[in-house]
């Protein structure tokens, strides 16, 4: 019998790609999402891409802080595991509105964990972030590095990781995998689902994409004086489909009786500079991205990339795609949906 997985935040960028891989992998999937920062069109598109497996997807509009609704959901369906994506994720906004971040991310998560425990569902995959490594003393980052946070968004990831470790300490029935994502980019190769941020994008590739389609005039490069190959910041960009597949590998790992609370990096192990990424995207799109060189962005670090050893060894998972494929698929999504899911010009 197939497993039934609850995916919180399943209409978002990482969530929607993961839901598609789950369906294609034969899982039954229930999505709960408040659609505050995502679109139900993503769910429709996932259904189209899943073909006959679309019948295994159901969607509930709901907020994790609505405990009675969550209770009702867990009373009506039995879940084998939960993949928990739902949360706010803009660093700058989190500095402006810390209580909103603590309320959404922490309160929502605590209510989710309480309801899970009450219904005997104690298998969890949580979306953490490489942000917990801060400015690492050395690279590649291994999972045993010291962790911290420099802004409220990062603190919510850090706190939830700690809450998970405490839960496992108090009750060894919990099986928890914390996935630390590096920089997810690109889109499903169909170009039907992708990242669709509201407002001006904070992250590099969504911003570059909006410049390429003519929505924004130029990309500001935050810092050209880092001690890197060309002075710009270096990150570990990972194709969103590879990242989504990492969740399937994590679910399989949760079947291992000896798993407690474990953390894994999901990255490629390769560092790419801003200039290198822009050049790859210009090549993929055939568009010139005008650049404005500017000072460093507060809170940014110089070079961050993952050690992938632990995930390769223990999850039997390894990223398959390189930056050319990431940029090609990003452009395919952008050119088909220049204004995202609500795009009038959408060809789908």
Q: How far is the CB of 66 from ligand UD1 (least distance, A)?
A: 25
Grouping H, G, I as helix, E, B as strand and the rest as coil, residue 311 is helix
Letters for 307-336 (x = contact with ligand UD1 by CB under 6 A, - = none) are ------------------------------
What DSSP character marks residue 297?
A: P
**153 flagged as catalytic:** yes
In this chain, which stretch among 172-180, 199-207, 254-262, 321-329 interacts with ligand UD1, using CB under 6 A?
A: 199-207
Facing residues of 180 across strands? 128, 265
**Which of 67, 287, 336 shows the shortest CA–CA distance to 188?**
336
Closest to 330 in 3D by CA, of 127, 228, 186, 208: 186
- With binding defined as CB under 6 A, does residue 91 bind ligand UD1? yes
235 is a site residue for ligand UD1 (CB under 6 A): yes
106 vs 111, beta carbon nearer ligand UD1: 106
Measured N-to-C along each axis, helices 240-254 and 13-24 cross at an angle, to the nearest 10 degrees, of 60
Angle made by CA atoms 185, 188, 194, in degrees to the nearest 5: 60
Segment near ligand UD1 (CB under 6 A), from 196-204, 313-321, 328-336, 339-347? Answer: 196-204
DSSP letter at 339? Answer: T
What's the min distance (Å) between Cβ of 44 and ligand UD1? 25
Segment interacting with ligand UD1, rule: CB under 6 A, options 162-170, 216-224, 256-264, 331-339? 216-224
Whether the CB-CB separation of 234 and 224 falls below 8 Å is answered with no
Positive or negative, the CA dihedral 76, 77, 79, 83 is negative
Of 29, 39, 129, 228, which one interacts with ligand UD1 (CB under 6 A)? Answer: 129
Catalytic amino acids?
153
User: In the complex, which residues of this chain contact ligand UD1 (CB under 6 A)?
Assistant: 89, 91, 129, 131, 154, 183, 202-204, 207, 219-223, 233, 235, 274, 297, 299-300
């Amino acid at each position: 019998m197939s497993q039934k997985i609850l995916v919180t935040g399943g209409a978002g960028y990482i969530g929607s790609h993961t839901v598609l891989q789950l369906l294609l992998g034969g899982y039954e999937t229930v999505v709960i999402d408040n659609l505050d920062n995502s679109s139900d069109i993503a769910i429709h598109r996932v259904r189209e891409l899943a073909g006959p497996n679309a019948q295994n997807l159901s969607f509930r509009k709901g907020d994790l802080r609505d405990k009675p609704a969550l209770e009702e959901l867990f009373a009506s369906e039995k879940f084998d595991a939960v993949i928990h994506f739902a949360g706010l994720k803009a660093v700058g906004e989190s500095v402006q509105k810390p209580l909103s971040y603590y309320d959404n991310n922490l309160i929502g998560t605590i209510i989710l964990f309480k309801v899970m425990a009450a219904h005997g569902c104690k298998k969890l995959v949580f979306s953490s972030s490489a942000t917990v490594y801060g400015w690492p003393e050395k690279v590649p980052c291994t999972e045993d590095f010291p962790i911290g946070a420099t802004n409220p968004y990062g603190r919510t990831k850090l706190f939830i990781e700690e809450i998970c470790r405490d839960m496992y300490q108090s009750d060894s029935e919990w099986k928890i995998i914390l996935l630390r994502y590096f920089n997810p980019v690109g889109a499903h190769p169909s170009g039907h689902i992708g990242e669709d941020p509201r407002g001006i994008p904070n992250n590099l590739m969504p911003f570059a994409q909006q410049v390429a389609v003519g929505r924004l005039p130029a990309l500001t490069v935050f810092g050209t004086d880092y001690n890197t190959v060309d002075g710009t910041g270096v990150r570990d960009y990972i194709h969103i489909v590879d990242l989504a597949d990492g969740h399937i590998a994590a679910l399989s790992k949760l079947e291992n009786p000896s798993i407690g609370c474990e953390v894994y990096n999901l990255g490629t192990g390769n560092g790419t500079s801003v200039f290198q990424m822009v050049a790859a995207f210009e090549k993929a799109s055939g568009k010139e991205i005008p650049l404005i060189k500017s000072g460093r962005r507060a809170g940014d670090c110089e070079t961050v990339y993952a050690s992938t050893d632990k995930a390769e060894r223990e999850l039997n998972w390894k990223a398959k795609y390189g930056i050319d494929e990431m940029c090609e698929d990003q452009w395919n999504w952008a050119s088909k949906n220049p204004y995202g899911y609500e795009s009038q010009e959408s060809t789908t």
